[in-house]
Structure 1
Amino acid sequence: MTETTGTPVESIRKALLGYRVTAWITGIWLIALCYEMVMKYGFGVEGLNWIAVVHGWVYFVYLLFTANLAVKVRWPIAKTIGILLAGTIPLVGIIVEQIQTRDIKQKFSL
């Protein structure tokens, strides 16, 4: 197994895949949550409250996978917090994921 800066590359590759998948899933559920809010407060449609619950759990899993990746690639704490918060704004989490994936692949030759 090849090592880069003391961290096994295969471990980083797996952590990056988990981060990418959860970033996309979180982004999609955040859009669904926005839809639920519009339907609830704009049109008075009830019964979509389960979307908020699912999104909350998906976001929690995203936090875990992102923190795992941050430790493996040694992101500074401020960058880690910024990336964690990016998952709270529709589409921003997906855009940040694309940028970070490109940077990590280049830095660690993945």
Structure 2
Amino acid sequence: MSAALTRFRVVAYVVGVVLIVFILVAMPLKYFFDSPGFVAVIAPVHGFLYMVYLVVTFDLSMRAKWPLSRTVLLLLAGTIPVLSFVAERWATAKVRELEPAPA
């Protein structure tokens, strides 16, 4: 489960950063400065990365045997700016609770 957690953590951070760039840089450029070029690049990138996030999150959730409600909340965390960072910390803590203590 350690590899699944690492994949989730990396993808959660990447999706979070790309979403923040999209919201705080690309969208203002489009609407305030009439420059839609950056949105045309960042939006598909975020869309693809969010699909990767969904797969990685679902994989972690199935390995950890989490309930559907927890899984859905984690899946939705990639759509709200900054929430993927919070979800990553929360999921990491939950997975580490499941792991046995080192001897």
Aligned length: 99
Deviations 1:52-81 (A, max 9, x none): 011110111010000000100011111101
Q: Distance in 1 between matches of 2:93 and 2:100?
A: 10
Q: Give 1:61-80 correspondences, 5 Å limit.
A: 61-80=52-71
Match of 1:14 in 2: 3
- 1:98 aligned onto 2:96: no
Shift of 1:47: 1.1
TM-score where L is the length of structure 2: 0.90
Q: Distance in 1 between matches of 2:74 and 2:44?
A: 22
Match of 2:44 in 1: 53
Q: Distance in 1 between matches of 2:10 and 2:70?
A: 19
| Runs of 4+ with >4 A deviation | none
Percent of pairs identical after alignment? 36
Q: Distance in 1 between matches of 2:28 and 2:13?
A: 21
Unaligned runs of 5+ in 1: 1-11
Match of 1:37 in 2: 27
Three-state SS of the structure 1 residue aligned to 2:66 is coil
| Alpha-carbon RMSD | 1.2
Whichever structure has more helix as a proportion of its residues is: 2
Q: Distance in 2 between matches of 1:42 and 1:108?
A: 49
Shift of 1:107: 1.9
TM-score where L is the length of structure 1: 0.85
- 1:26 aligned onto 2:15: yes
